[in-house]
A and B are shown apart, each in its own frame.
Chain A
Amino acid sequence: MDDLAQSVLVQWRVNGVLHELDVLPGLSLLDVLREQLNLTGTHMGCMTGHCGACTVMIDGRIAKSCIAQAATLPRAEIRTIEGLMGPDGRLSPVQQAFWDEAGFQCGYCAPGMLFSAIELLAETPDPTDAEIDSALAGSLCRCTGYQSLRRAVRAAARALKDPNPD
């Protein structure tokens, strides 16, 4: 916006690929991911940190990329929804469970729900419904009423415990 704005050089490993980028101060991580790296799987729903559609993982913790200033992350390990799949292009067990259980409808909220589920199940392999609800509560879904999302998280928990049911 401002010709004089001093851009900042950042070094990020995004989904395993190293990037050196000039980012303008004031830009959100969401903007940089979508516009400079063309990673459009991370979505904008509010820009105020309320909806979770922009969720990514920064250095192993989930974060809302709309309220993360890109220039404040000189070095970071970032994972976006595009980076959840295995190298063979197969869905990860959590993703597969969400698909099989029809967890989503439009899927716009997928980044928040998938990353929340992944983080929850990493720490709590056998979550109660209340734990599932509180893990998902950082994200809004307007389509499902959450019932199918809960079912998908339960199925994902089962899949992670027993990777080869047959």
Chain B
Amino acid sequence: MADRDPGMSAAPATGGYVGRAVRTLEGRAPIAGAARYSSDFSFPGQLHAAIVRSPHARARILKVDLSGARKVAGVVLAMDGREVAAHLGPIPHYIDPATFGGKSAEVRTMAVDHVWCYGQPVAVVVAADRRTARWAASRVQVAYEVEPAVLTVEDAIAPDAPKVVPGFDDNVIMAVPFRNGDPDAAFARADHVVTTTVRIHRFSTQPIETRCYNAVWEEETESLTLYGTAQNPHPLRHVLAKVLGMPEGRIRVHAPAIGGAFGMKMHGHPEESLVCLLAKLLRRPVKWVESREECLLIGAREQVHHLELALSKEGDLLALRDRFFANTGAPSACPGWGMAFLTGLTMPGPYRVRDIDVTMTALVTNKPSWNAARGYGKEATALALELALDEAARRLGFDPAELRIRNFVPADAFPYASPTGLQYDSGDYAGAVRKAMAAIGWDEWRARQAEGPREGRYLGLGIAYELTPEGGALPGTMVAGYDSSTVRVAPDGSVRVLTGVTTPGTGNPTGIAQIVADELGCPIEWISVVQGDTTTCPYGFGNYSGRSTIVGGGSAALAARAVRAQMEAVAAAMLGVGVQALRLSDGVFDGGDGRSLAFADVAWAAYTRAYDVASCITPPLEAQATFRPPNIRHSPDAEGRINPYPSYSNAAYATVVEVDSATGQVKLLAFAAAHDCGRVINPLLVEGQACGAIAFGLGGALMEEIRFDAGGHQLTRSFMDYVMPRAEDMPGVTLVHHDSPNPDTYMGLKGAGEAGVGGSAAAVVNAVNDALRPFGVAIHDLPLSPARVWAAIHGRSGAAGGAA
């Protein structure tokens, strides 16, 4: 199949659905209570697993005593980490640090002899029902010898730090310099150097549906089916095969409806292979449903940035220096640690500065591991840069918007080669900033702010920009840039699309159906989209990096075009006219001579008249195609750089907050975003993605935080402590589009799934710091909890990050 035909970025022959607000086809089932999520599946003989987890951050395991659990009626199996390790190999890394010159730790399903984080699985119990399994798990006795834990970046880089991974010579899994030009010379000639330390805390995606895996062993064929919350069924199947020592062909992974994923349901989690082993040993289905407390173990995003900006007195950004450290927790096979790499690679975001000196250091500690989290490190780039720019504007007296606009990559510079080797496809950053400011009514708010505080409440205005590379591909990993789809037209004319991309519940099947409906010239109701099953779908890489519509939609369009060509050939033969004379719309082939044929009649003929009108085609009406975005580049340039992304979504965010000086409480009064995600297939879906990501950013900036005590015990263990935005916390979002089409993707698409987390968080922080100007303080430590804001206002500790 051709990856790209000359018309790839052109509109389909028949327009109609693309660009329209079509409600999702798959959206009815959950509303009727009929959608089936992973935990809704149960099978005859169903058993349930519960996991015993370490209450210590770092410890030696002296003894695991399973006898108490085994005595509980209803328990069928109890195993410790050592027993499990006899059956299961190490978990292959989703993104192996060693592939990129880092260090890779061997990751086991459960702790053997040594625990390296709070919450690490130590033993497992299987019983006839979940409560019995949990009760029995509480009766497992483990003797530990507790060792001092490495919890913070400072702990991890201390010269005498204990080693998180036995055998490593330090706690660094990867350190990468991103250097370009001559930053030292630029700093030497700068009029101003502004330093800012930005501390981004640990927060997490927390979908409302937790993870669940249910493994079914079939003795007759010695094969395994895993039903579960998997964003990437085919790559997970590969991992299971390796860990279990089985051929991939005897494993099926089926991901039913998913209740939000946001990266957390990318694989590498120990429970995936563990339930498979248990089902195989017991020859019965074994299910594990993650509790919220367990879900909160999975962290992300914690970084410390030490930034220096070199500026001319006119406000030109001459050079950027950033030494940053990521606290990625204990080693994991999940792809979370790679977020730190992306934070560095995305520097310096939308800014045209060429002289940069950025070093990324990804550290392991004895906190629980990360997994991927929407934004995938690019949100941290935005937070670090945007807070530092506002700090520079404040100190040097520049207008924050003007300082940004002056330093953006200009709209006529695309395609633009970034100093880290990325190839930005398109954009108009200055235009987006102006649109966002107009949308929020910036000048009116400024005028209100000038009237002074009311009853101790201070207004603040903030803007921020975020560049979000999406659709990524990393060489040598299952993070692939391409994907595949099959389009089938049945003899009755109904259409089935099978695709390798999956949906975490975002509506991408409907976006794909809209594209196929237009390509095939048929009503969207005739189309069903099948995803998430390794047995029926083409080999694919699933959902991550805002890729699903770019490559799922792109490949489905190519496959649909091939099927359409088959049908046109048959229709032309049936009517005795040339293919060029045909016109297809609304499911009717019009011969141009007053005669027409129904779509279904042509489909029937294609199947049943293979020796006359359909002899011109090879039945069945089916085609598979792959879309491989042509602008991803993995062959390194002279500097060894690659371009792993095909699309560079970007957006400007503007917000107004009110800070109550008596309580430190921050209230969001208004929020606007001007968003460039390329061509919009369905504005409802794009709005949903943008508003959801903005809620992540606002929650992260103000309230969500996973905390530990000094000994490394996790304190945040329920939604009582992990406070996420509710309806009352979210301002209305004014979303305006400022789209520039991507020249290299189907119809100009860019990713729309990840943008928004960092830009919205940064806008809020900048707005709060704007409100705090009268107090002469600014906060660069997140989150901006009421206590921290209050402390800053009242001159107490906690306002580290700098007096302005």
Contacts and interface: CB of A to CB of B under 8 A. Distances in A.
B258 interface: yes
Interface string A143-165: 11111111000000000000000
Contact of B33 (A3, A44, A111, A137): A111
Given A40-B36, A50-B718, A143-B688, A104 B27 contact: yes
B37 interface: yes
Contacts of A23: none
Tell me the dominant secondary structure on chain B's binding face. loop
Contacts of A132: 727
Q: Dominant SS at the A interface?
A: loop
Nearest to B36: A40
Interface in A73-101: 80-82, 84-85, 91, 95, 98-101
By CB atoms of chain A within 10 A, which of B131, B718, B727 has the most? Answer: B727
B257 interface: yes
A102 B688 contact: yes
A48 B719 contact: yes
A40 B40 contact: yes
B692 A102 contact: no
A106 interface: yes
A17 interface: no
A80 B33 contact: yes
A148 B30 contact: no
Interface string A35-47: 1000111111111
Given A105-B505, A106-B209, A142-B262, A44 B39 contact: yes
A105 B258 CA distance: 10
B600 to A, nearest CB: 26
B205 interface: yes
Given A45-B292, A106-B209, A99 B33 contact: no
A125 B469 CA distance: 45
Interface in A104-127: 104-111, 114
B259 interface: yes
B730 A105 contact: no
A82 B206 contact: no
A52 to B, nearest CB: 9
A109 B691 contact: no
A25 to B, nearest CB: 11
B2 interface: no
B85 interface: no
Contact of B23 (A39, A43, A99, A141): A99
Contact of A141 (B21, B132, B208, B684): B208
Interface string B401-435: 00000000000000000000000000000000000
Contact of B688 (A80, A95, A144): A144
B368 interface: no
A126 to B, nearest CB: 18
Given A53-B208, A106-B505, A134-B728, A144 B692 contact: yes
Given A3-B73, A102-B507, A148 B209 contact: no
A41 B33 contact: yes
Given A104-B30, A148-B687, A143 B505 contact: yes
Interface string B665-705: 00000000000000000001101101111110000000000
B730 A95 contact: no
B292 A47 contact: yes
Contacts of B692: 105, 142-145
Contacts of A41: 32-35
Contacts of B259: 43, 106-109
Given A95-B32, A106-B257, A107-B29, A147 B730 contact: yes
Which of B29, B40, B135, B260 is packed against the most chain A CB atoms within 10 Å?
B260
A105 B262 CA distance: 12
Contacts of B514: none
Nearest to A98: B31
Given A48-B720, A99-B28, A102-B688, A108 B209 contact: yes
A4 B643 CA distance: 65
A27 B32 CA distance: 25
A148 B131 contact: no
B30 A108 contact: yes
Contacts of B691: 144-148
Nearest to B685: A102
B534 interface: no
B688 A105 contact: yes
Given A50-B718, A140-B724, A108 B260 contact: yes
A139 B647 CA distance: 35
Contacts of B690: 145
Nearest to B29: A107
B74 to A, nearest CB: 8
B59 to A, nearest CB: 28
Contacts of B34: 41, 82
A60 interface: no
Contacts of B35: 41, 107
Given A40-B40, A44-B39, A95-B32, A148 B688 contact: yes
B650 interface: no
A133 B694 CA distance: 17
Contacts of B528: none
Contacts of B694: 145
A102 B31 CA distance: 10
Contacts of A150: 727, 732
B454 interface: no
B705 to A, nearest CB: 16
Nearest to A26: B131
B24 interface: yes
B7 to A, nearest CB: 30
Contacts of B505: 105-108, 143
Interface in B73-113: 73-74
Contact of A142 (B40, B206, B685): B206
Nearest to A132: B727
Given A40-B36, A142-B207, A147-B733, A46 B258 contact: no
A2 B799 CA distance: 53
A108 B208 contact: yes
Contacts of A58: none
B120 interface: no
A142 B208 contact: yes
Given A43-B259, A46-B292, A143-B506, A100 B23 contact: yes
B502 to A, nearest CB: 12
B771 interface: no
Contact of B727 (A35, A84, A108, A136): A136
B342 to A, nearest CB: 22
B719 A46 contact: yes
A149 to B, nearest CB: 7
B334 interface: no
Contacts of B733: 145, 147
B503 to A, nearest CB: 8
B413 to A, nearest CB: 32
Contacts of B724: 140, 142
B695 A91 contact: no
B727 A82 contact: no
A39 B42 CA distance: 12
Contacts of B23: 99-102
A63 interface: no
Contact of A114 (B21, B31, B208): B31
A91 B27 CA distance: 12
B209 A43 contact: yes
B210 interface: yes
25 contacts: A1-B74, A3-B73, A40-B39, A41-B35, A42-B33, A48-B719, A50-B720, A91-B28, A98-B31, A100-B23, A105-B260, A106-B209, A107-B27, A107-B29, A107-B30, A108-B209, A129-B732, A136-B726, A142-B205, A142-B262, A143-B505, A144-B692, A145-B690, A145-B694, A146-B726
Which 5 A-B pairs give the minimum distances between C-beta atoms?
A107-B30, A106-B505, A41-B33, A108-B259, A145-B691
